[in-house]
Amino acid sequence: MNKCPPIAEEQAVSEIDRLHCRIAELEQIEEKYQELLVELTEKEAFNFALFQYNPALIVVVDREGHVIKSNIAKKKAGGRLPNIGDIMYRDYASHHTIDMYAELMETISTGAIRRFDELPYNNKILSITIAPFPQGAIIISEDITERKNAEHDRITLINDLKRALDEVETLRGLLPICASCKKIRDDKGYWNHIEVYISNHTHVDFTHTLCPDCIRHFYPEYWRQMQKRAAANS
């Protein structure tokens, strides 16, 4: 019976050992691949949830501005939704006061995020952020109309309160008033009737009437008639 030469046998053993090492390496690579696959799947699930359930209104477009998808918040916001394939700011949301399509293309071209804090759109005020990525851009919009209206109302209220405080401060000090005719001297040295002075320094308007004491003094007969009517009605 022929035996393999010692050298050939050693080469066969060496080759088998090499194959065993290679198999072990491949098994390690497969194990690492499975770990990366699980990690990638988890990241995709996270990113999907972050996109779909984000309260902001999000639209994703490709590098030519075609709509790829939009999230749940955008679908629930009401109004017309962009169709897949629509060109953003051309076929959809095309009534901005500035050329938003040009802004979108510039953002995708430069790779720099662009923010528009207060953009009027129809009867709304929008806050829009365009965030580029290699395959296109993510457009995040927020309707801030109610917030801006509330800010405007708050500023108006503060201004009204300041004006009222200024009026109170104006009237707080001692006023030079004539002991006879009751005119008031203003800061320019002019004498004005009290109603003119107050009207000029506040938002108060006057209507003229007579108090009961003056009615009794100047119109005694009318005052007695008033007293009789009051007594009859009591």
What is the structure's pLDDT at 221?
86
How far, CA to CA in Å, does 25 sit from each of 18, 20, 120, 219? Answer: 11, 9, 61, 119
Instruction: Round to whole Å and give the CA distance between 134 and 225.
Output: 93
What is the structure's pLDDT at 168?
67
How far, CA to CA in Å, does 47 sit from each of 35, 53, 67, 75? Answer: 18, 10, 18, 18
What is the structure's pLDDT at 162?
85
SS (H, E, C) 144-168: CHHHHHHHHHHHHHHHHHHHHHHHH
**Run means of pLDDT, 10 residues per run, the chain, 234 residues:** 61 80 87 86 79 87 95 87 94 93 96 94 92 95 90 89 75 73 80 79 71 84 84 78
Specify the fold of 54-147: Beta-Lactamase (3.30.450)
What is the structure's pLDDT at 77?
85
What is the structure's pLDDT at 87?
96
What is the structure's pLDDT at 112?
95
What is the structure's pLDDT at 211?
83
What is the structure's pLDDT at 126?
93
Give the largest Cα separation in the chain, rounded.
Answer: 158
